[in-house]
Protein backbone atom coordinates (compact mmCIF):
# COMPACT_ATOMS: atom_id res chain seq x y z
CA UNK A 1 0.00 0.00 0.00
CA UNK A 2 1.76 3.08 -1.06
CA UNK A 3 1.18 6.65 -1.91
CA UNK A 4 -1.21 7.68 -4.66
CA UNK A 5 1.53 10.01 -5.90
CA UNK A 6 3.32 6.94 -7.30
CA UNK A 7 0.28 6.22 -9.50
CA UNK A 8 -0.55 9.84 -10.35
CA UNK A 9 1.37 9.88 -13.70
CA UNK A 10 -0.54 6.83 -14.95
CA UNK A 11 -3.90 8.36 -14.03
CA UNK A 12 -2.98 11.67 -15.64
CA UNK A 13 -1.90 9.87 -18.81
CA UNK A 14 -5.21 7.99 -18.85
CA UNK A 15 -7.12 11.27 -18.49
CA UNK A 16 -5.10 12.84 -21.30
CA UNK A 17 -6.05 9.86 -23.48
CA UNK A 18 -9.72 10.58 -22.78
CA UNK A 19 -10.38 7.77 -20.34
CA UNK A 20 -12.82 8.39 -17.50
CA UNK A 21 -11.60 7.82 -13.96
CA UNK A 22 -13.29 6.59 -10.80
CA UNK A 23 -11.23 6.74 -7.64
CA UNK A 24 -12.06 5.17 -4.30
CA UNK A 25 -11.65 7.97 -1.80
CA UNK A 26 -12.24 8.34 1.93
CA UNK A 27 -13.28 4.74 2.45
CA UNK A 28 -11.74 4.57 5.93
CA UNK A 29 -10.42 7.23 8.34
CA UNK A 30 -6.78 6.40 7.59
CA UNK A 31 -7.37 7.41 3.93
CA UNK A 32 -8.46 10.99 4.70
CA UNK A 33 -4.96 12.53 4.30
CA UNK A 34 -4.87 11.14 0.74
CA UNK A 35 -8.16 12.81 -0.29
CA UNK A 36 -6.63 16.11 -1.54
CA UNK A 37 -4.13 14.27 -3.72
CA UNK A 38 -6.84 12.06 -5.23
CA UNK A 39 -9.11 15.02 -5.91
CA UNK A 40 -6.27 16.97 -7.51
CA UNK A 41 -6.46 14.87 -10.69
CA UNK A 42 -10.15 15.73 -11.15
CA UNK A 43 -11.66 12.24 -11.23
CA UNK A 44 -14.98 11.79 -13.01
CA UNK A 45 -16.60 9.72 -10.27
CA UNK A 46 -15.78 8.64 -6.72
CA UNK A 47 -16.15 5.38 -4.87
CA UNK A 48 -17.27 5.58 -1.24
CA UNK A 49 -16.40 9.12 -0.04
CA UNK A 50 -17.48 7.86 3.36
CA UNK A 51 -14.91 9.69 5.49
CA UNK A 52 -14.22 13.23 4.34
CA UNK A 53 -12.47 16.30 5.65
CA UNK A 54 -14.34 19.57 5.16
CA UNK A 55 -12.15 20.76 2.27
CA UNK A 56 -12.61 17.51 0.32
CA UNK A 57 -16.36 17.53 0.97
CA UNK A 58 -16.56 21.10 -0.35
CA UNK A 59 -14.64 20.16 -3.53
CA UNK A 60 -16.80 17.12 -4.15
CA UNK A 61 -20.00 19.15 -3.83
CA UNK A 62 -18.64 22.09 -5.84
CA UNK A 63 -17.60 19.78 -8.68
CA UNK A 64 -20.83 17.80 -8.43
CA UNK A 65 -18.77 14.59 -8.46
CA UNK A 66 -21.00 11.50 -8.48
CA UNK A 67 -20.38 9.10 -5.59
CA UNK A 68 -20.70 5.31 -5.79
CA UNK A 69 -22.40 4.28 -2.55
CA UNK A 70 -22.15 0.75 -1.13
CA UNK A 71 -24.34 0.88 1.98
CA UNK A 72 -24.05 -2.75 3.08
CA UNK A 73 -20.31 -2.81 2.46
CA UNK A 74 -19.86 0.33 4.57
CA UNK A 75 -21.95 -1.10 7.42
CA UNK A 76 -20.29 -4.54 7.38
CA UNK A 77 -16.81 -3.00 7.19
CA UNK A 78 -17.83 -0.64 10.00
CA UNK A 79 -16.94 2.53 8.13
CA UNK A 80 -20.38 3.74 9.21
CA UNK A 81 -22.13 2.77 12.44
CA UNK A 82 -25.38 1.68 10.82
CA UNK A 83 -27.60 2.36 7.84
CA UNK A 84 -29.31 5.28 9.57
CA UNK A 85 -26.00 7.09 9.96
CA UNK A 86 -24.85 6.38 6.41
CA UNK A 87 -23.59 9.36 4.41
CA UNK A 88 -26.20 8.59 1.75
CA UNK A 89 -28.51 10.65 3.95
CA UNK A 90 -26.36 13.74 3.34
CA UNK A 91 -26.12 13.03 -0.39
CA UNK A 92 -29.91 12.79 -0.58
CA UNK A 93 -30.39 15.97 1.45
CA UNK A 94 -27.92 17.86 -0.75
CA UNK A 95 -29.42 16.37 -3.93
CA UNK A 96 -25.88 15.31 -4.83
CA UNK A 97 -25.43 12.70 -7.58
CA UNK A 98 -24.81 9.16 -6.37
CA UNK A 99 -25.15 5.60 -7.57
CA UNK A 100 -26.12 2.78 -5.27
CA UNK A 101 -23.69 -0.09 -5.84
CA UNK A 102 -22.80 -3.46 -4.37
CA UNK A 103 -19.55 -5.14 -3.51
CA UNK A 104 -18.88 -8.78 -2.68
CA UNK A 105 -21.07 -9.04 0.43
CA UNK A 106 -23.73 -11.33 -0.99
CA UNK A 107 -26.24 -8.55 -1.45
CA UNK A 108 -28.09 -7.46 -4.55
CA UNK A 109 -28.55 -4.02 -6.00
CA UNK A 110 -32.29 -4.45 -5.42
CA UNK A 111 -31.65 -5.05 -1.73
CA UNK A 112 -29.49 -1.92 -1.55
CA UNK A 113 -32.34 0.13 -3.03
CA UNK A 114 -34.77 -1.48 -0.57
CA UNK A 115 -32.44 -0.66 2.35
CA UNK A 116 -32.06 2.94 1.18
CA UNK A 117 -35.83 3.29 0.72
CA UNK A 118 -36.59 1.85 4.13
CA UNK A 119 -33.82 3.69 5.98
CA UNK A 120 -34.51 7.12 4.52
CA UNK A 121 -38.28 6.77 3.94
CA UNK A 122 -37.98 7.14 0.18
CA UNK A 123 -41.11 6.90 -1.92
CA UNK A 124 -41.31 4.66 -4.96
CA UNK A 125 -40.89 7.77 -7.10
CA UNK A 126 -37.78 8.84 -5.18
CA UNK A 127 -36.24 5.38 -5.56
CA UNK A 128 -36.94 5.49 -9.28
CA UNK A 129 -35.40 8.97 -9.57
CA UNK A 130 -32.33 7.77 -7.65
CA UNK A 131 -31.96 5.04 -10.24
CA UNK A 132 -32.50 7.32 -13.23
CA UNK A 133 -30.02 9.97 -12.10
CA UNK A 134 -27.22 7.39 -12.14
CA UNK A 135 -27.40 7.41 -15.94
CA UNK A 136 -25.78 10.85 -15.96
CA UNK A 137 -22.62 9.47 -14.35
CA UNK A 138 -22.02 6.38 -16.46
CA UNK A 139 -19.02 6.36 -18.76
CA UNK A 140 -20.91 6.20 -22.04
CA UNK A 141 -21.76 8.57 -24.84
CA UNK A 142 -24.94 10.65 -24.91
CA UNK A 143 -26.60 8.25 -27.35
CA UNK A 144 -26.31 5.37 -24.90
CA UNK A 145 -27.49 7.58 -22.04
CA UNK A 146 -30.51 8.74 -24.07
CA UNK A 147 -31.43 5.14 -24.86
CA UNK A 148 -31.18 4.19 -21.18
CA UNK A 149 -33.34 7.15 -20.15
CA UNK A 150 -35.93 6.06 -22.72
CA UNK A 151 -35.90 2.49 -21.36
CA UNK A 152 -36.19 3.71 -17.75
CA UNK A 153 -39.10 6.01 -18.72
CA UNK A 154 -40.87 3.13 -20.47
CA UNK A 155 -40.45 0.91 -17.43
CA UNK A 156 -41.74 3.67 -15.14
CA UNK A 157 -44.78 4.31 -17.35
CA UNK A 158 -45.62 0.62 -17.15
CA UNK A 159 -44.93 0.05 -13.43
CA UNK A 160 -45.43 3.29 -11.52
CA UNK A 161 -48.92 2.38 -10.34
CA UNK A 162 -47.97 -1.06 -9.00
CA UNK A 163 -47.71 -1.58 -5.25
Residues serving a catalytic function are 27
CB 50 within 8 A of CB 26: yes
User: How many Cα atoms within 13 Å fall on the side-chain side of residue 156?
Assistant: 15
CB 131 within 8 A of CB 98: no
DSSP E strands in 2-156: the ranges are 22-25, 45-48, 67-69, 98-100
Amino acid sequence: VGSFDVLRPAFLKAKEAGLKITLHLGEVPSNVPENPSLLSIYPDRLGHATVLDDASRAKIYARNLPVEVCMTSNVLCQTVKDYGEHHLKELLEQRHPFALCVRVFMCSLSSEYAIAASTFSLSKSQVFEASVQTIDSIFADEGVKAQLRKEWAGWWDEHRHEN
